[in-house]
Structure 1
Amino acid sequence: MHFDSFSDLIAMGGYAGYVWGAFGMTFLSLLILTISSLKTGKKIILDVKNKQERQARIEAARNLENTL
């Protein structure tokens, strides 16, 4: 597609609302997905760390039982 000027590019042949709206919705969706994925990733890492610490406490208690 060839445009004669920058304003023609922005106008998108009269379909600017649809074209730029689609770009906006796509960008917004990708932004929300990225933020959600980062939050979920941090939560999963924290959950795994807590589970490992809990397991270490259980093992320490089990080893302490064996010495009594």
Structure 2
Amino acid sequence: MMWNSPAEFFAMGGYALYVWWSFGICALVLVLEPLAVRARHKKIVNRLHKEVLATEFDQKAGK
């Protein structure tokens, strides 16, 4: 497909709304997914750390 002007390129042959929303949503997902994974990882590590501390406390209290 050839465009004669930047306006034609951004109009995408009448499909601009669909095309640019698709690009935007894809970019948003590509940004948010690593952030969500990092937050879940941090939450899991914190929970495991608390479980280890609780286990150590129970073992010391039992003696």
Tell me whether the two structures share a fold, i.e. TM-score over 0.5.
Answer: yes
RMSD: 2.0
1:20-35 matches, cutoff 5 A: 20-35=20-35
* Structure 1, 31-40 or 19-28: larger mean CA deviation: 31-40
SS in 2 for 1:18: helix
Query: CA shift at 1:41, angstroms?
Result: 1.2
Counterpart position of 1:45: 45
* 1:18 matches 2:23: no
Q: TM-score, normalised by structure 1?
A: 0.68
CA distance in 1, matches of 2:52, 2:3: 59
Structure 1: which 5+ residue stretches go unaligned? none
Gapped regions of structure 2 (runs ≥ 5): none
Cα distance in 2, alignment partners of residues 3 and 57 from structure 1: 70
Match of 1:56 in 2: 56
Hey, what's the Cα distance between the residues in 2 that align with 1:13 and 1:55?
Answer: 64
For the pair shown, which has the larger CA radius of gyration, 1 or 2?
A: 1
* Deviation at residue 16 of structure 1 after TM alignment: 0.9
CA–CA distance in structure 1, aligned partners of residues 6 and 40 of structure 2: 41
Q: In the aligned structure 2, how far is the partner of 1:4 from the partner of 1:46? A: 56
**How far apart, in 1, do the equivalents of 2:36 and 2:29 lie?**
10
